[in-house]
Amino acid sequence: MKNVSILFLLIIASFMNVSAQQTVIKVSTNETDLVLKTSPLGRIYQAYFGEKLLNESEIQALSHFIARPSSDGSVTPRGWEVYPASGNEDYFEPAFAIQHNDGNMTSYLYYKSHEVKNIDSNVKETIIRLADDKYPVEVTLHYMSFAKENIIKTWTEIKHNEKKPVNISKYASAMLYFESPAYYLNEYSGDWSKEAQLSTQELKFGKKMIDTKLGSRAAMHAYPFFQIGLGEEVKEDKGKVFVGTIGWTGNFRFTFEVDNVNNLRVISGINPYASTYELKPNEIFTTPEFIFTLSYNGVGKASRDLHAWARNYQLKDGKGDRLTLLNNWEATGPNFNEEILGEWMHEAKKLGVDMFLLDDGWFGNKYPRFDDKRALGDWEPTREKLPNGVQGLVKKAKEAGVKFGLWVEPEMVNPKSELFEKHPDWAIKLPNRETYYYRSQLVLDLSNPQVQDYSFGVVDKILSENPDLAYLKWDCNSPITNIYSPYLKEKQNHLYIDHVRGFYNVIKRVTDKYPHVEIMMCSGGGARCDYEGLKYFSEFWCSDNTDPVDRLYIQWNFSQFFPIKAMAAHVTSWNKAASIKFRTDVAMMCKFGFDISLKEMNADEQKFCTEAVANYNRLKRVILDGNFFRLVSPYDGNHTSVMHVGESKDKAVLFTYDINPLYKEKYYPIKLQGLDPMKKYRIREINLMPGATSRLAENDKVYSGDYLMKIGIDAFTATRLNSRVIELTAE
Ligand code: GLA
């Protein structure tokens, strides 16, 4: 017995010895450490993911989730393996699955080397190379950490050198593990016109999946982002929260699996549904980026970190300005002509916005686009509507003193179009089954390089012929239907992935050639909202639902993940029970525009809107680039409030909305956030209807940031659909 325990101690000691040579890799931000560590067997595990650790020696000694010696002396490789492959000793969902040339479906990945590149003083890239010991398969993990913003993004490259192509059927961007007594998932689901609706559930043993199979966009029924409250439900200002989002404008999948010991495993990546990928020798399969953060002070902090990171590093023209605009879609649909549009341009000028945006309906001659059943693909201006073409409109806008923007949908085709008549094989469509149409259109096959050239050519022609065109609204109204690419033939399993890669090829060529053009990402409302798309698009359309009440929720939810300057919001005539002021005040908290004719407004309303645009222009940098605070949630009662605080804390804008106040309801003061407690701020209510005076008790008074954050201001009212915009200026 004594001998056995001595032997066991010796084994432990030798394990400790080996462990001394274990490689420790730290991916860190200013607040968070993700510690990865090799086991004595040479595979790599997540040793820690949480608040920054202070003692280097303790980091080096971490061993909790790493392969350990068993009582019989052997070392069990089970643990939190960073990129577990199918067929190894872990019985839960793997990140990676491959079938080798000999039919073997397993892979064991061993650590080979790593390097850390300093991209700049704030950004580091850690590259970790893994390889199978029995097959020539290499996996490279990339982690890019943004110290100040507390964000990490990660992606993976897969490569092999077997004789023939191999099949990969799982290829996650990342896998992360958590140990917590409870996990609460915030997921976002919806449909056209009810985008990103929040629901919460506790994750218990087993798997929960969020995925989509829409092909041409990430979202509609499920959204490519989530939050997990660790230990308690997600809260705005307290608690530990993990927030993740995938940058992929196509099918994605998040798998949340609570295992036998109540640990949570989160796998994020492309949805491998119908997409087993055949990888040629030496071809590199690069996964999308998974972007994540941990907050120790609630989800508000995580949002602000994501916003700052996106503006600094990811969002197209993240630090640049944005154009305010007047759009004609809601008022005219496709029924307009040059003269009518000329009037709209003058209205835009009168409003004071930067640009007039012409929406759908300007193209097609053989099949003029008078409804959405024809002409997609025929990008020639309809002569009977626009005898002087787009050039004539750009000129007219110039004369009116505004910029000009144009709607396009270059990834789609209507069967009733000259393009389809000429190239029926350019559409994704089954050769042997009846065709199913979504919005009477088909998706062009962007896995085909010729179609990519066509799609780029459409936009290139418009932009090269009209160098003054300032803006595009780039739409994508149909998911992929009739899943068959005439180009890919027997490799249909590549369609979902190659199509999205084809789309990136097109949009990248456009933005490389025309970097100054602002482009809105739109997809039948807000179905395209992901961080890979936003590398090329400077904003996205949150929803066709512009009812201001619904929008308060939609905007609240998108702001969890995306910066305000990327979220387009327009004043329209949806919900006329709400005043023009309420509708304007709701749109004005985001990237602001109008989609309503001045003719629908009386003189006071017109004057109000003109003043609101002037206020927005004055406060634009604070609203678009400031820190954003969600103060009162619309989910918590009958009111909601948000605020933006400028970088220097000298200026702030507070928005308050009374949605459905109750009779004799007790109101609580709104406690502001993000101000300098030592500064004194003058309070001024703006965006008042002509002739109205502010009834805010604090109006035109001066309070310290300390007072405003600890005591707050009484800005809520008993009036239904009432709103306030309040400017704070440090004196
Ligand atoms: C989509 C967009 C709308 C509008 C129409 C035009 O639905 O979301 O804003 O542009 O297309 O057809």
- Res. 220: pLDDT tops 50: yes
Residues 656 and 601 reside in one and the same domain:
no
Do 113 and 244 belong to one domain?
Answer: yes
Please answer whether residues 303 and 190 qualify as being in contact, where contact means their C-beta atoms are separated by less than 8 angstroms. Answer: no
Taking the centre of ligand 1 as the mean of its atom positions, its distance from the CA of residue 72, in whole angstroms, is: 66
Residue 475 beta carbon below 6 angstroms from any ligand 1 atom? yes
CA 323 to ligand 1 centroid distance, Å: 19
Rg, the chain, Cα only: 28
**528 C-alpha to ligand 1 centroid (Å):** 13
Residue-wise pLDDT for 354-399, tens only, equals: 999 999 999 999 999 999 999 999 999 999 999 999 999 999 999 9
pLDDT at 71 over 80: no
Tally: H helices and E strands in the chain: 13, 38
Give the residue-averaged pLDDT of 433-458. Answer: 98
Angle at which helix 603-625 crosses helix 338-351, to 10 degrees, equals 70
Both 488 and 340 in one domain: the answer is yes
Examine the pLDDT at 244 and tell me if it is beyond 80. Answer: yes
Q: What percentage of the chain has pLDDT greater than the value 90?
A: 93
Q: Look at ligand 1, atom 1, and give the residue with the nearest C-alpha.
A: 524
With b for 16 or more beta-carbon neighbours within 10 A and e for fewer, the 488-519 pattern comes to beeeebbbbbbbbebbbbbbebbbeebeebbb
The reply to whether 295 and 358 lie within a common domain is no
Average pLDDT, integer, range 112-139? 98
Atom of ligand 1 nearest to the CA of 541: 8
Check which CATH number belongs to the domain holding 340 and give it: 3.20.20.70
CB 95 within 8 A of CB 49: no
Residue 551 corresponds to which amino acid? R
Confidence (pLDDT) at 638: 96
What values do phi and psi take at 535, rounded to 5?
-70, -25
- Whether the CB-CB separation of 229 and 235 falls below 8 Å is answered with yes
- Span from the CA of 475 to the centroid of ligand 1 (angstroms): 7
Within this chain, do residues 240 and 373 fall inside the same structural domain, yes or no?
Answer: no
477 lines ligand 1 (CB under 6 A): yes
Same domain, 596 and 654: no
What is the C-alpha separation between 82 and 94, in angstroms, rounded? 10
Distance 372 CA to ligand 1 centre (A): 10
pLDDT (tens digit per residue) in 308-321: 999 999 999 999 99
Per the structure, the complete domain to which residue 276 belongs is given by 2-314
Residue 67 contacts residue 78 (beta carbons within 8 Å): yes
Domain boundary among 585, 619, 653: 619
What tokens does 701 get? Answer: 């008074």
pLDDT of residue 194: 97
Q: Are 77 and 50 in contact (CB under 8 A)?
A: no
Strands 539-541 and 518-521: parallel
The mean per-residue pLDDT over the stretch 14-38 comes to 80
Residue 562's closest CA among 190, 316, 311?
A: 311
Residue closest to 552 by CA, chosen among 469, 668, 637: 637
Q: What is the mean pLDDT of residues 571-575?
A: 98
Nearest CA to ligand 1 atom 6: 360
Q: Would 379 be classed as within a structural domain? A: yes
Atom 11, ligand 1: residue with shortest CA distance: 524
The pLDDT score that the predictor gives to residue 41 is 87
User: From the CB of 524, is ligand 1 less than 6 Å away?
Assistant: yes
Tell me the best of 330, 359, 439 to mutate to test the pocket of ligand 1, counting ligand atoms within 8 Å of each CB and taking the most: 359
Evaluate if residue 15 carries a pLDDT over 50: no
**Pair of tokens at residue 198:** 């929040």
Which atom of ligand 1 is the closest one to the Cα of 522?
Answer: 8
Say yes or no to pLDDT of 6 above 60: no
Residue 243 lies in a domain: yes
* Any domain includes 385: yes
DSSP code string of 120-149: SSSEEEEEEEEEESSSSEEEEEEEEEETTT
Q: Kindly state if the Cβ of 525 falls inside 6 Å of ligand 1.
A: yes
**Mean pLDDT, residues 582-600:** 98
Q: Calculate the CA 308 to chain-centre distance.
A: 14
Percentage of the residues of the chain whose pLDDT score is greater than 70: 97
Q: Is the CB of 405 under 6 A from ligand 1?
A: no
For residue 659, is it within any domain? yes
- Helix extents (H) in 53-116: 56-61
Q: What pLDDT, on the 0 to 100 scale, is given for residue 503?
A: 98
Domain membership flag for residue 319:
no
Helix residue ranges per DSSP H, 328-445: 329-332, 338-351, 389-400, 418-422
Q: Does ligand 1 come within 6 angstroms of the Cβ of 544?
A: yes
Shared domain for 566 and 478, answered yes or no, is: yes
Summary mean pLDDT of the chain: 96
* Same-domain check for residues 275 and 389: no
Q: What is the pLDDT of residue 524?
A: 97
CATH number for the domain harbouring residue 213: 2.70.98.60
> In this predicted structure, what is the pLDDT of residue 17?
39
C-alpha 414 – ligand 1 centre gap (Å): 15
Using left for φ > 0, alpha for ψ between -120 and 50, and beta otherwise, residue 643 falls in: beta
Model confidence at 18, pLDDT cuts 50, 70, 90, reads very low
Q: Which atom of ligand 1 is nearest to the CA of 372?
A: 12
* Ligand 1: centre distance to CA 190 (Å): 17
SS3 content of the chain, % helix, strand, coil (to 5): 25, 30, 45
> 3-state class of 35 per DSSP?
strand
Total domains, the chain? 3
Span from the CA of 525 to the centroid of ligand 1 (angstroms)? 7
In a domain, 624, yes or no: no
* 400 neighbors 342 (Cβ within 8 angstroms): yes
67, pLDDT greater than 90: no
> Both 686 and 588 in a single domain?
no
Cβ–Cβ < 8 Å for 318, 311 = yes
Q: Is the CB of 363 under 6 A from ligand 1?
A: no
Co-location of 440 and 497 in the same domain:
yes
Confidence (pTM): 0.96
Tell which of 314, 341, 362 closes a domain.
314
pLDDT digits (tens, 9 = 90+) for 155-195: 999 999 999 999 999 999 999 999 999 999 999 999 999 99
Please tell me the distance between residue 369's alpha carbon and the centre of ligand 1 in angstroms.
14
Q: What is the pLDDT of residue 5?
A: 45
Q: Is 359 in the pocket of ligand 1 (CB under 6 A)?
A: yes
C-alpha 120/C-alpha 126 separation (Å) is: 13
pLDDT at residue 69, rounded to an integer: 67
The answer to the question of residue 625 being in a domain is no
Give the domain-ending residue among 314, 333, 353: 314
Q: Beta-carbon neighbour count of residue 440 at 10 Å?
A: 15
C-alpha dist (Å) from residue 371 to 225, 374, 377, 440, 521:
34, 7, 14, 10, 22
Ligand 1 pocket mutation, candidates 477, 523, 574, criterion most atoms within 8 A of CB? 477
360: Cβ below 6 Å to ligand 1?
yes
DSSP state of 713: B
Take atom 2 of ligand 1 and give the residue whose Cα is closest. Answer: 524
**Stretch 261-284: mean pLDDT:** 98
Strands 183-189 and 197-203, bridge-based pairing:
antiparallel
Is residue 442 within 8 A of residue 412, CB to CB? The reply is yes
Residue 64 pLDDT class (50, 70, 90 cuts):
confident
CATH number for position 698: 2.60.40.1180
The rounded Å distance from CA 207 to ligand 1 centre is 36
Q: What is the C-alpha separation between 446 and 454, in angstroms, rounded?
A: 10
Kindly report, residue by residue over 678-726, the tens digit of the pLDDT.
Answer: 999 999 999 999 999 999 999 999 999 999 999 999 999 999 999 999 9
pLDDT surpasses 70 at 56: yes
Q: Is it the case that residue 323 has pLDDT exceeding 50?
A: yes
47 lies in the same domain as 95: yes
Examine the pLDDT at 525 and tell me if it is beyond 90.
yes
Give the amino acid at 307.
Answer: H
Residue 320 lies in a domain: no
The predicted structure's pLDDT at residue 40: 86
Q: Are 273 and 350 contained in the same domain?
A: no
